[in-house]
Structure 1
Amino acid sequence: MSDHDQAAIDARPRLSRLEAAWVIARRDFVAVLFSRAFLFFLVGPLFPVLVGGLAGSVGGQVSRSAVSTEIGLAMQSEDNFAMISAAEKLRPQLGRSIPNVKIVPEARRDGGFDARAFMDERKGNYAAIVTGTPTAPQIVGTRGQIDRWRGPVELIAATALQASPGTFPRSTSSVVASSAASERTNRIRTAQASQMVLFLLTMLLAGMVLSNLAEEKGNKIIEILAAALPMDAVFMGKLFAMLGVSFVGIAVWGALGWGFWALAEDAIVVITQTDFRSLPGPAVGWPMFLAFGIIYFSMAYLLLGALFLTIGAMAETVREVQTMSMPVTMMQLMVFFLAAYTITLPGSALETFAILFPLSSPFAMLARAALDETLWVHIAAVAWQALAAFLLIKAGSALFRKRVMKSGGAGREKKKRRLFNRSSTQHSSTQPAE
Structure 2
Amino acid sequence: MNGFPRLARQTLTIARRDFVATVFTPTFLLFLLAPLMMLAFGTVGGLGAATMAKSADTQSRIVMIAEGETATRVVALDRQLRRLFRVVEQPPKLIVAAPSADPERQARALFADSGVDTYAVLYGPLERPSILHVENGPRSAEYLAELASQVLRAQRAGTDAPLSEATKTVITRTGTSASGQGQAAFFTVFALFIVSLMLAGQVVGTMAEERSNKVIEILAAAVPLESVFFGKLLGMFGVAVLFLVFWGTVVIGLGSNAASVMPARLASELATVGPAVGFIPYALLFFAYFVMAYMLLGAVFLGLGAQAGTQRELQMMSLPITIFQVAMFGLAAVAAGSPDSWLATAAELFPFSSPFAMAARAANSPELWRHFAALAWQALWVVITVSIAARLFRRGVLQSGSPKLWRRKAATTA
Partner residue, 1:339: 332
Task: Tell me how far 1:178 sits from its aligned partner.
Answer: 6.7
2 CA distance for matches of 1:276 and 1:262? 17
Task: Tell me how far 1:270 sits from its aligned partner.
Answer: 4.1
RMSD over aligned Cα, in angstroms? 3.1
User: Counterpart of 2:26 in structure 1: which amino acid?
Assistant: R
Of residues 179, 184, 187 in structure 1, which corresponds to 2:178?
184
1:310 aligned onto 2:300: no
Q: Residues 350-369 of structure 1: matches in 2 within 5 Å?
A: 350-369=343-362
Q: Could you state the TM-score of these two structures normalised by the residue count of structure 1?
A: 0.62
1:392 aligned onto 2:388: no
Task: Tell me how far 1:247 sits from its aligned partner.
Answer: 0.8
Partner residue, 1:201: 195
Of residues 22, 30, 40 in structure 1, which corresponds to 2:12?
22
Change (3 A) 1:375 1:225: same
Aligned partner of residue 369 in structure 1, secondary structure = helix
1 CA distance for matches of 2:48 and 2:252? 22
User: Counterpart of 1:354 in structure 2: which amino acid?
Assistant: A
2 CA distance for matches of 1:176 and 1:293? 28
Deviations 1:21-41 (A, max 9, x none): 010011111221111111110
Change (3 A) 1:63 1:275: farther
User: Counterpart of 1:38 in structure 2: which amino acid?
Assistant: F
Deviations 1:291-335 (A, max 9, x none): 111111110110111101211333333322332342132022112
CA contact (8 A) 2:212 2:309 kept: no
Change (3 A) 1:63 1:286: farther
- Structure 1 range deviating more: 26-35 or 296-305: 26-35
Task: Tell me how far 1:348 sits from its aligned partner.
Answer: 1.8
1 CA distance for matches of 2:43 and 2:268? 18
Q: Residues 29-108 of structure 1: matches in 2 within 5 Å?
A: 29-53=19-43, 56=46
Task: Tell me how far 1:203 sits from its aligned partner.
Answer: 1.0
Task: Tell me how far 1:396 sits from its aligned partner.
Answer: 0.4
Aligned partner of residue 284 in structure 1, secondary structure = coil
- Structure 1 range deviating more: 398-407 or 186-195: 398-407
Task: Tell me how far 1:17 sits from its aligned partner.
Answer: 1.2
1:115 aligned onto 2:111: no
CA contact (8 A) 1:303 1:388 kept: yes
Task: Tell me how far 1:56 sits from its aligned partner.
Answer: 4.9
Change (3 A) 1:339 1:242: same
2 CA distance for matches of 1:372 and 1:110? 42
2 CA distance for matches of 1:228 and 1:396? 18
2 CA distance for matches of 1:21 and 1:211? 19
CA contact (8 A) 1:361 1:381 kept: yes
Report sequence identity in percent: 40
Partner residue, 1:379: 372
1 CA distance for matches of 2:27 and 2:390? 27
Q: Residues 232-251 of structure 1: matches in 2 within 5 Å?
A: 232-251=226-245
- Structure 1 range deviating more: 371-380 or 40-49: 40-49
Change (3 A) 1:217 1:297: same
Partner residue, 1:402: 395
CA contact (8 A) 2:196 2:294 kept: yes
Of residues 282, 301, 310 in structure 2, which corresponds to 1:289?
282
Partner residue, 2:255: 261
CA contact (8 A) 1:28 1:238 kept: yes
CA contact (8 A) 2:185 2:359 kept: yes
Partner residue, 1:222: 216
- Structure 1 range deviating more: 357-366 or 58-67: 58-67
User: Counterpart of 2:383 in structure 1: which amino acid?
Assistant: F
Change (3 A) 1:401 1:279: same
CA contact (8 A) 2:211 2:309 kept: no
Q: Residues 135-154 of structure 1: matches in 2 within 5 Å?
A: 140=170
2 CA distance for matches of 1:183 and 1:13? 54
Change (3 A) 1:349 1:263: closer
CA contact (8 A) 1:232 1:397 kept: yes
Aligned partner of residue 347 in structure 1, secondary structure = coil
1 CA distance for matches of 2:264 and 2:248? 21
Change (3 A) 1:58 1:278: farther
1 CA distance for matches of 2:267 and 2:218? 56
Task: Tell me how far 1:63 sits from its aligned partner.
Answer: 8.9
The number of equivalent residue pairs is 297
User: Counterpart of 2:41 in structure 1: which amino acid?
Assistant: V
Q: Which runs of 5+ in 2 are unaligned?
A: 59-160, 402-414
